[in-house]
Structure 1
Amino acid sequence: MPYDDAQQTLSLPDEQRMTLGPLGRSLGFLLRISQVTVFEKFYATLGDLGLKPGEFSVLWLICNNPGIRQGVVARNLHIKNARMTKLIRTFEDKGFVSRLVPDDDRRAVELTLTSEGRAFVDANAEDFFTYSQKGKSRLTPEEMGELIRLLQKYTGMEETE
């Protein structure tokens, strides 16, 4: 999109308004502000779980892909190896995840949820996947569906039939 000096402002009370200019059409800026908005809603709704949104995502993927290799999860979720190792250790300490080093590749680690981890995921999945739909939203359900579809396309994570 060519540079355009059109004036955009944030929807804030008058004393907090500021002019954004082309920043208001910057994909990176809008994605970052969107992420902060979603995370604020996550913590307000699910903060008592003691998890971050990305942490539940890791548990969900392990739940749905038993035996998945730790490196595969880390690469697909763009988590640095050191952070992933620390996270999996935390999940082990909580009794949520078990690790297995396969005989055919001693450098790999396969992850599986324990029964306690599975119970945690089962007990919290509905809240995790619906928290953004609760309360007031600036988007209609149809607009939210379209935004999700476009983000899936943009990230290469389109749903397969």
Structure 2
Amino acid sequence: MSLDMLDPQVRDGINLGGLEQSLGFLLRVSQLKVFDHFFEKLGHIGLKPGEYSVLWVISHNPGIRQGQLAQSLAIKNAHMTKLIRSFEVYGFIERRIPEEDRRSVELSLTEQGEAFVARHKPDFFGYIQSLDSPLDEGETRELIRLLAKFSGISRESVQ
């Protein structure tokens, strides 16, 4: 899908047939807008939102089990396994197989991983402030609150 739909000059005169009232459509178009802005601002440093999110959660939950991490971030196990392997290659994470459950894998950041997460925290959490948004600060906070509620993530866990 092209973000041209967000351009009023392109959108004007096109009958969306009720899609402008579809939650799924609006969430998807909004996601595209945010991701395009993310990559425009941070693409040059190689930061990807999903990958950083994984490292961020590991940094706040040292020893988290890989399956639990995948489930909490809604990432398929096969994709999570590939991510974890690539993070190992970069030296960002350590895997540990606990003696009590040899089928599981516990994840922690290395010093290099911790440094990466700390170095890019302002980028990851700050880029959105440069997004040209019609929402004011209060509306943005309310949107985040409502999305956290809608998605089942408690507001207290959103930073």
Kindly indicate whether structure 1 or structure 2 has the higher relative contact order, using CA contacts under 8 Å at least 6 residues apart: 2
Q: Which residue of 2 aligns with 1:4?
A: none
Query: 1:64 and 2:60 equivalent?
Result: yes
**Root mean square deviation of aligned Cα:** 1.8
Structure 1: state its 5+ residue gaps. Answer: 1-8
1:18 and 1:150 map into 2 onto residues whose CA distance is 29
Segments ≥4 residues shifted beyond 4 Å: 14-17
Aligned-partner residue type, residue 89 of structure 2: D
Q: Which residue of 2 aligns with 1:33?
A: 29
SS of the counterpart of 2:14?
A: coil
Residues 79-94 of structure 1: matches in 2 within 5 Å? 79-94=75-90
Aligned-partner residue type, residue 87 of structure 1: L
Contact 2:37/2:131 (8 A) holds in 1: no
Q: What is the deviation of 1:133?
A: 1.1
Q: Which segment drifts farther, 128-137 or 100-109?
A: 128-137
1:22 and 1:42 map into 2 onto residues whose CA distance is 28
Contact 1:70/1:108 (8 A) holds in 2: yes
1:18-41 alpha-carbon deviations (Å, 9 max, x no partner): 121311010000000011111001
Query: 1:137 and 2:133 equivalent?
Result: yes
Count of residues in Structure 1 that have an aligned counterpart in Structure 2: 153
Flag the 1:14–1:23 CA change in 2: closer, same or farther, 3 A. closer
Q: What is the deviation of 1:150?
A: 0.1
Aligned-partner residue type, residue 78 of structure 1: A
Q: What is the deviation of 1:11?
A: 5.1
Contact 1:10/1:19 (8 A) holds in 2: no
Contact 1:63/1:118 (8 A) holds in 2: yes
Structure 2: state its 5+ residue gaps. Answer: none
Could you say which structure has the higher helix fraction? Answer: 2
Q: 2:156 aligns with which of 148, 154, 160?
A: 160
